[in-house]
């Protein structure tokens, strides 16, 4: 079959608003909520649990949209979060499901709100974190859902994170140490004082911490890599310190934990390897998970919001199709299909994501995923190295709109979990420390060499593309190794590590020691950071670059894009620049996504020879 016979997937099918997403059942089981467009803007819709077609919008945003919401256990309230033009100053709203009245409960300017705790045992109360008094520190506030009154109950002594139990008691917090480690402070419930409980060294800080407290508050579930390579699940007696290991793997960190919503006992864990691997701690729960997996084709996720725990919301994630949502009845073991996030995708031939691995120049095994164009021989194809953000994150198997876009346009999409990516144990994660533009980059180069050696991709037609850290990696590719790549696409990526680290949001400062230990300290390692900055090597850039930036980005400021773009102008280097006035760290509005992907598609086609719908 000729590749030209494969229909182009319209960009709005790939990057436009989903038809419906994020379904949730209310705690009393009577309502179904989901996010869907209203006049082209994402809003929250609610209807009867047994009749999704009868749902009606309950929010009426006309600008950026609403994506994060939750039903409350008072069975009357729905809460949601919203920022302004991507500034990440999240505001909390409470909506009365009977009257439809919505109230802004955190109206402060320049403040970001986060929900700390709310549960079935305290249906009328919610604990909220707000940095209203000190922009660097989030204090704890108690929100009365009945009166909508909010009051501060705890002042932050310097914690990067709080710990709260199921009785909404503050149990302590986590404070970073100067060397990039941390100390977990546990509250003495008799004296009310927070006392040092667990010291976490820099090598373990990314993979160690308290996950939850038992229902009686006497023990904690702890994820810990202390003394081992990969994070394992422990139960720790808070009075004696006695530990028992519940789940572990030599090479992979625990990726997820399923708790019984009534008892808070762990029933299962997942490890994210090439695919998701389930380990059952409770045989009855495990039998239900295995039954669901036998009925579905992809990676399953389970939400257990209904208080009687007899109906679960299940999603099925495929790599070659839309995300599908179901309701599972545990009494009948029936799985009822609700909807998929983008039904139009069913009309097109999509690519499957294939795991692979290779060995780097220094002997490290690195994993990744390949997606190939349909209908063509896997030989000497153009490729796009799509680098994930974070960098303390990872790519996973599943539906990725950018992978489908790239393969449909004729490119091999290459996704690499380079050293420093999460989930592969602390040795692999810590191997990325202070390796920006160094071994983290050569991991990417080694992937290209491996794929060229297989004969799958054409060395002369490789582009590098990414957002956030991935955007930085694209700039590094252009500035440090311009002979490897034909072009580069940078979305909200930093160009100067010195200005990046000195312009972070105030509320990131309690954990700045972590970033210094992983990236570098601008006060003591100025030359080191400058040498790892793409801006320092702008004279070496010889390939075209597309730069895109959100003007209101609080993480990677507009200045990061302006610095590199001004340098490219001064040097007369071929480039394009897109500045989105109403976006932040990424592109939320569909019209902005269309503008970016249209330009990126034409840019890649011009320089790599793929297809374009333009």
Closest CA to 7 of 347, 325, 250: 347
Q: Residue 313 in contact with residue 329, Cβ under 8 Å?
A: no
**Contact yes or no for 123/73 (Cβ under 8 A):** yes
- Distance, in Å, from the CA atom of 133 to the CA atom of 89, rounded to the nearest integer, reads 14
State CA 245 to chain mean position distance: 28
Q: Which residues pair with 372 in a beta bridge?
A: none
- The tokens describing 231, both together, are 């994070």
String of DSSP letters for 476-530: HHHHH-TTT-SEEEEES--S-HHHHHTS--GGGGGGHHHHHHHT--TTT-HHHHH
Q: 357 catalytic, yes or no?
A: no
Other C-beta atoms lying within 10 Å of the C-beta of residue 199 = 12
Q: Is 320 a catalytic residue?
A: no
Which listed residue (207, 468, 517, 533) is catalytic? Answer: 468
- Name 584's bridge partners: 586
Reduced 3-state DSSP string for 142-205: EEECCCCCEEEEECCCCCCEEEECCCCCEEEEEEECCCCCEEEEEECCCCCCEEEEEEECCCCH
Q: How far apart are CA 218 and CA 220, in angstroms?
A: 7
The one catalytic residue among 395, 553, 575, 607 = 553
Contacts 24+ apart (CB under 8 A), 195-201: 197/172, 198/222, 200/226, 201/226
Note whether 16 and 590 are within 8 A (CB): yes
Return phi, psi of residue 84, to 5°.
-120, 115
Point out the catalytic residue in the list 118, 138, 585, 607: 585
Give yes or no for a contact between 5 and 408, defined as CB atoms under 8 angstroms apart: no
Active site residue 468: yes
CA 78 – CA 83 distance, rounded (Å): 17
SS3 assignment for 86-97: CCCCCEEEEEEC
- Rounded to a whole number of angstroms, the distance between the first and last alpha carbons of the chain is 24
Burial label for 51, CB within 10 Å (0-12, 13-18, 19+), is exposed
DSSP assignment of 407-460 equals HHTT-EEEEEE-TT-SSS-HHHHHTTTT-TTTHHHHHHHHHHHHHHHTTSEEEE
List residues with catalytic annotation. 468, 553, 585
């Amino acid at each position: 079959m000729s590749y030209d016979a494969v229909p182009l997937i319209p960009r709005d099918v790939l990057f436009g608003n989903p038809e419906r997403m994020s379904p949730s059942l209310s705690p009393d089981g009577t309502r179904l909520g989901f996010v869907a467009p209203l006049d082209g803007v994402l809003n929250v819709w609610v209807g009867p649990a047994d009749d999704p077609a009868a749902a009606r919008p309950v929010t009426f945003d006309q600008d950026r949209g609403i994506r994060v919401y939750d039903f409350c256990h008072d069975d009357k309230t729905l809460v949601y979060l919203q920022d302004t033009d991507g500034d990440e100053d999240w505001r909390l709203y409470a909506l009365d499901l009977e009257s439809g009245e919505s109230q802004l409960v955190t109206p402060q300017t320049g403040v970001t709100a986060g929900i700390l705790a709310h549960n079935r045992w305290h249906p009328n109360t919610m604990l909220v974190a707000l940095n209203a008094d000190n922009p660097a520190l989030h204090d704890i506030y108690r929100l009365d859902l009945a009166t909508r009154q909010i009051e501060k109950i705890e002042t932050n002594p310097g914690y990067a994170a709080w710990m709260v139990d199921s009785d909404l008691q503050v149990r302590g917090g986590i404070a970073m140490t100067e060397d990039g480690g941390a100390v977990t402070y546990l509250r003495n419930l008799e004296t009310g004082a927070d006392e040092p409980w667990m010291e976490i060294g820099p090598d373990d800080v990314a993979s160690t911490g308290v996950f939850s407290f038992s229902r009686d508050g006497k023990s904690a579930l702890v994820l810990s890599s202390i003394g081992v390579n990969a994070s394992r699940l422990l139960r720790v007696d808070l009075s004696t310190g006695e530990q028992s290991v519940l789940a572990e793997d030599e090479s992979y960190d625990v990726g997820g934990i399923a708790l019984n919503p009534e008892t808070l006992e762990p029933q299962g864990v997942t490890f994210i390897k090439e695919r998701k691997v389930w380990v059952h701690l409770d045989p009855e729960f495990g039998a239900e998970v295995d039954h669901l997996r036998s009925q579905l084709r992809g990676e399953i996720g389970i939400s257990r919001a209904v208080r009687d725990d007899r109906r679960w919301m299940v999603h099925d994630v495929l790599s070659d199709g839309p995300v599908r949502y179901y309701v599972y009845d545990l009494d009948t073991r029936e799985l009822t299909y609700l909807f998929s996030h983008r039904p139009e995708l069913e009309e097109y031939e999509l690519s499957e994501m294939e795991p692979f691995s290779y060995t780097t120049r220094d002997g490290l095994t690195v994993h990744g995923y390949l997606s190939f164009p349909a209908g063509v021989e896997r030989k000497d194809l153009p490729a796009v190295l799509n680098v994930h953000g974070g960098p303390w994150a990872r790519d996973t198997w599943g539906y990725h709109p950018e992978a489908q876009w790239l393969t449909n346009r004729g490119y091999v999409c290459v996704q690499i979990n380079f050293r420093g990516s999460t989930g592969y144990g602390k040795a692999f994660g810590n191997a990325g420390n202070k390796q920006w533009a160094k071994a983290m980059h050569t991991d990417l180069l080694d992937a290209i060499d491996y794929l060229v050696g297989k004969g799958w991709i054409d060395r002369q037609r490789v582009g590098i593309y990414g957002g956030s850290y991935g955007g930085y990696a694209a700039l590094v590719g252009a500035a440090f190794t311009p002979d490897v790549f034909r072009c580069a696409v940078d979305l909200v990526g930093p160009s100067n590590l010195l200005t990046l680290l000195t312009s972070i949001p105030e509320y990131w400062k309690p954990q700045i020691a972590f970033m210094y230990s992983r990236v570098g300290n601008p006060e003591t390692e100025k030359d080191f950071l400058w040498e790892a900055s793409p801006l320092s090597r702008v004279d070496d850039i010889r390939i075209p670059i597309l730069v895109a930036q959100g003007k209101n980005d609080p993480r990677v400021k507009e200045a990061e894009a302006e610095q590199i773009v001004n340098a490219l102008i001064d040097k007369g280097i071929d480039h394009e620049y897109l500045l989105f006035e109403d976006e932040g760290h990424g592109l939320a509005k569909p019209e902005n996504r269309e503008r970016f992907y249209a330009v990126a598609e034409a840019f890649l086609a011009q320089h790599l020879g793929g297809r374009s719908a333009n």
